[in-house]
Amino acid sequence: MLIWGILVVSLQLLTCILVLFQRREPVSSTAWILFVLLFPLLGTFFFFFFGYFPFERKKRRIRKYRGRQDVVREIAQPLLRRETPYKNKEEELEDLLQREELINSSQLLDNLTGYQMTHHNNIEPLVNGKETYRLMEEKILQAKKYIFFQFFIFTPDRIGKKFRDLLISKARQGVRVYFLYDHLANLFLSTKFLKPMQQAGIQVERFSPLYSLSHKFQINFRNHRKLILIDGTQAFTGGLNIGREYLGENKRLKGWRDNHFFMEGEIVASLEKTFLEDWFFASNKKITPPRRKTPFLPKQGDVSIQAIPSGPNDFVEIKHLTFLQLVQTAQKSLWIQTPYFIPDSSLIHAFQLAAMRGIDVRIMVPRVPQYLPIYYASHSFFSELIEAGVKIYRYLPCFLHSKTCIIDDNICLIGSTNLDNRSFKLSFELDLLTVSRKFNCDLKSIFNADLAQSETVQLENLQELQFPHVLLTNLFRLFAPIM
């Protein structure tokens, strides 16, 4: 019994020391230490599997990879900087004016991510699953050299089988195919389902596999990115995963409303670099795509785009700082769509300040809930925001999964990030910052179409809610930091 007591106390002491050595907010550290002291075994278990940040070695490996990998240096980097000469003064002036629009935000993001603003891109918004899947299939069929295919959720239903068979067909034609998926989100993606892909020569990797010793204590850190890259010239990214549910066939959710995006141009090199780093993170293997005849991609359009990957292995909370900077940047309007709205105090204050200085702040969330705890927790923030002048809307027809931030008349942030602690601190995310009046106008039109099918949340209606609803919203708000 004495030996058992000594072991338990030693375990508590070791765990508390590890908590102190991890950089986190004092309230969070105090809560973990109290949990471990009150419930030694349970607290230690939960800390190592849900609270421990085991990424120091990974950070060093990624830095080493970034410094030595030939394809990133020789292919991606020339495209991430302005090395082509301007044709004339007008082109130079247009480029400088575009940069002026984002001078503060872009410099911040350059420093945070190492990804610079790219120019001469074309981007097309896709607003439903059927349209998105059709274009994905069309572009994959046209692939000649290689395909990078990465999703948070890849459901082995009829849609998943269709994409699997399409990738197998391209692999048998000699196209190099790399398939990366998050393990925890795809536990039902069986060996039987994946085996035909591997037999066809497709390289398959799981991100942070649950049963791997090399990825121990990473169960709470998932890869939420959705990305398809084709021959280094075309890309898809956004909020849509692969499966029947995303065609709106989930009756409980009454459908599915999402944004996804197809791109061509210099931004593809940045997205390719993100995939290469994710692949290296998951497998410790590097990929060397076929070299292009020219290091410069052909100009495809006039949209400036900056890739913003983020994750728990970053030195700072990149996505959190990005949102704070963009809210501060807004001069006229700030329109946001998010499926999960659980902001921390700094974001709440930023939204309140923006509304109080006259910015048109609009936040749209789904009326149809996917997860009830998140739904109730989100509602707990509405009153204090509405009182400050923020307009809150609830999208009525079905579940809204779009992640969009539209600033003024020319800036947008799109991608995979939700406005919650999990996206900011725990998940590997991928977003794009765009500078284009036309693209901004396109997204505003989509937002307004959704607005026409939404209800405005009124302060008086919140004040008249029944006791059970108020109790649930306040109860689940306590768990907001871990949602």
Active-site position among 119, 379, 401, 425: 401
- Report the run of H or E that residue 176 belongs to, with start and end: strand 176-182
User: Residue 479: phi, psi to the nearest 5?
Assistant: -95, 5
> Among 266, 211, 246, 221, which Cα is nearest to 399's?
246
Contacts of 385 (CB under 8 A, 6+ apart): 348, 351, 352, 355, 363, 392
320 is catalytic: no
Catalytic residue check, 89 = no
- Catalytic (active site) residue 251: no
Distances (CA, A) of 69 to 21, 223, 225: 31, 22, 22
Query: Is 59 among the residues known to form the active site?
Result: no
Inter-residue contact 257 to 229 (CB < 8 Å):
no
Q: Which of 58, 170, 183, 226 is catalytic?
A: 226
User: Residue 200 in contact with residue 168, Cβ under 8 Å?
Assistant: yes
Q: Check: CB of residue 324 under 8 Å from CB of residue 346.
A: yes
Q: Is residue 408 flagged as an active site residue?
A: yes
Q: Which of 182, 278, 408, 450 is catalytic?
A: 408
Residues whose CB is less than 8 angstroms from the CB of residue 95 and which lie 6 or more positions away in sequence, other chains included: 82, 86, 119
Nearest 5°: CA angle at 455, between 450 and 460? Answer: 155
Determine if residue 67 is left, alpha or beta; phi over 0 gives left, psi from -120 to 50 gives alpha, anything else beta.
alpha
CB 413 within 8 A of CB 431: yes
The residue annotated as part of the active site, out of 182, 231, 431, 450, is: 231
Options 119, 224, 379, 425, the catalytic residue: 224
The catalytically annotated residue of 119, 403, 431, 450 is 403
224 is catalytic: yes
Determine how many CB atoms are found less than 10 A away from the CB of residue 128.
18
The H or E element containing residue 207 is strand 203-207
Closest CA to 441 of 473, 418, 414, 407: 407
Which residue numbers are catalytic? 224, 226, 231, 401, 403, 408
